[in-house]
Amino acid sequence: MSLSPIKQEILENLLLNDKPMRAVEVAKEIGEAFPPVMMHILALVRMGYLNSPEKGQYVITQKGKEALGLPEIDKGKATAILAYLPYDKAFHFYDDIGKPLDLHAHDIREFADSIEKADVQSVQFHMNRGDFEAWFKSLGDYELAMRVALLKKKNLDGEDLRNQLHQIVDQRYVELAKLAGQPVDTQ
């Protein structure tokens, strides 16, 4: 089934924010009027794409994620995504083309830590090129890649970009670690 553009945008917003949100917050985030957004949210709930864990709050369901083209992640897949990678498969940070930093990440946990250490210019450089999305896809984490792509659309820069990217990656790490049955290292 094909989604209308506004329903797609609602699902993407809830995926990116990855927390229960009120309809008025969703409307504000996507720049649409509240009444039609509420109507679409109710339709998405009926379709099983959203759930309301608390009155007036909405979250995306697995079925909603699948409507966005994201596969379900099981314990084995989560474990594979979290695996420690050899040096040649690690993410290597650069300030610009031909200007490598002495900073790399062998897994998602290290990536979240490295984002805090990398120059803001490096974060912006990789975000603009789509490098983060490509690396997450190479790990098999299409959901994290999509979240990063959605963050890119917000055209953030500087510390705002760094902080939001760190938060998204850190939240995803926690989700995957719990799913994989691994201890969660929140440092």
pLDDT, residue 2, reads 80
Cβ of 29: how many Cβ atoms within 10 Å? Answer: 17
The span from the CA of 128 to the CA of 39, in Å, is 35
pLDDT tens across 107-135, in order? 999 999 999 999 999 999 999 999 999 99
Q: Which long-range contacts (CB under 8 A, 24 or more apart) does 43-47 make?
A: 43/7, 44/7, 44/10, 44/11
Domain end position, chosen among 67, 86, 108: 67
- How many structural domains are present in the chain? 2
Residues in the chain: 187
Given a cut of 70, is residue 1 above it in pLDDT?
no
Q: Which domain holds residue 10?
A: 5-67
At 6-51, the pLDDT tens digits run 999 999 999 999 999 999 999 999 999 999 999 999 999 999 999 9
Q: Which of 184, 2, 166, 187 is nearest to 78 (CA)?
A: 184
Final residue in a domain of this structure, among 67, 84, 104: 67
CATH code of the domain containing 28: 1.10.10.10
163-177, pLDDT tens digit by residue?
999 999 999 999 999
